[in-house]
């Protein structure tokens, strides 16, 4: 009986820890309006972690990534992340919205 109790307790603790880790590593599909080194803009889609405070998007993972500029065949580094929103939401920036309409997904 004591073995069954120990086993049940350890399974319960493992479940709690797994839930806490899943909550801590929460990710979301986002789209980002990016300004690229050397000029040009792009909209790219990512799965990025959410910061625990207010579920804000952690854009630090994007810097240093090479992406294709809109209308170019060369990859460029990200200069600035102008705006990131959840993939199913609309951009606030008019420029980002216009580029999204032009750029196929």
The residue ranking higher by pLDDT, 71 or 85, is 85
Structure confidence at residue 48 as a pLDDT band (50, 70, 90): confident
User: What CA–CA distance (Å, rounded) separates 66 from 64?
Assistant: 6
The domain limits of the chain are 26-102
Residues 41 and 35 sit within 8 Å (Cβ to Cβ): yes
The token duo for 90 is 């609309």
Beta strands at 75-86 and 66-68: parallel, antiparallel or unpaired = antiparallel
What pLDDT is stored for residue 68 in this prediction?
80
What pLDDT is stored for residue 2 in this prediction?
54
- pLDDT surpasses 80 at 32: yes
What pLDDT is stored for residue 93 in this prediction?
95
What pLDDT is stored for residue 7 in this prediction?
37
pTM, two decimal places: 0.70
């Amino acid at each position: 009986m004591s073995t069954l109790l120990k086993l049940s307790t350890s399974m319960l603790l493992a479940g709690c820890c797994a839930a806490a880790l899943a909550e801590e590593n929460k990710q979301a599909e986002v789209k980002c309006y990016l300004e690229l080194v050397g000029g040009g803009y792009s909209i790219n889609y990512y799965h990025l972690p959410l910061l625990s405070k207010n579920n804000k998007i952690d854009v630090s993972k994007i810097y240093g990534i090479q992406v294709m500029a809109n209308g170019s065949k060369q990859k460029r580094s990200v200069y600035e992340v102008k705006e990131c929103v959840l993939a199913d939401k609309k951009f606030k920036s008019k420029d980002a919205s216009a580029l999204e309409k032009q750029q196929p997904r």
